[in-house]
Amino acid sequence: MNRAKLACTATLLGMVTTGVYAQSSLAPHVHGEALLETVLEGQVLTITLQSPAMNLVGFEHAPETEQEKASIKALESAMQAPEYWIEIPTSADCSLSSVEIGQHHELSLEAHDEHEHEDEHEHEHEHEHEHEHEEGASAQADEHMDLRFDYSFLCASPENLDNVRIALFDRYPALTSLTAQVITQTQSVQTLNANTPYMRFK
């Protein structure tokens, strides 16, 4: 891979974004699983990896300790170089054009009221116990953080792209399954894991 052609635009987007933030392209949030989207159009190869942060750094809240902050920075630094986790055949002569690293953080609050399922015959006491209900309600925070990595390559010999090895399973044992969507002249969906880490283009 010709690193001289690297035009890296990697930026970890904001440490935290709270509230409900819809981003339809995010993969379903399942710990241990991740999504890999690969498109080859002519000589242009684009690869997008989306994973729950738990798989890669071991937590999903905003980094608080120095160790957690260091883990995020180390991941960002490592993933800027795609060869760290994906082995593209050298015969395809693919040079990296751009990298974008993003973070999506969602914080949802759910109120739980222990009195919300009272029988109908007790409704006449609702006003009497309204204050008690308010005090009995509790809010629980449910945090999810997803990480997204976008890469674009220009391949001089794209016809030589056949099998690509994914090394994520070696580096991040918490990741157990990867769903790869491959779009070339045809389309396929492949399930990868530590025993079958090769993504097929043909």
Question: pTM, whole model, 2 decimals?
Answer: 0.71
Surface-to-core class of residue 124, CB atoms within 10 Å of its CB (0-12 exposed, 13-18 middle, 19+ buried): exposed
Per-position b or e across 30-41, b if 16+ CB within 10 A of its CB: eeebbbbbbebe
Q: Which amino acid belongs to residue 78?
A: A
Angle at 146 between CA 180 and CA 73, to 5 degrees: 105
pLDDT in tens, 49-95: 999 999 999 998 888 899 999 999 999 999 999 999 999 999 999 99
| pLDDT on residue 71 | 93
Q: What residues does 101 pair with on adjacent strands?
A: 149
Q: What is the pLDDT of residue 141?
A: 56
pLDDT, residue 143, reads: 73
pLDDT for res 105: 59
Neighbours of 72 (CB within 10 A): 20
Burial of 88 (0-12, 13-18, 19+ CB in 10 A): buried
* Residues of the chain where predicted confidence (pLDDT) is lower than 70: 1-28, 104-142
pLDDT at residue 169, as a whole number:
95
pLDDT, residue 103, reads: 73
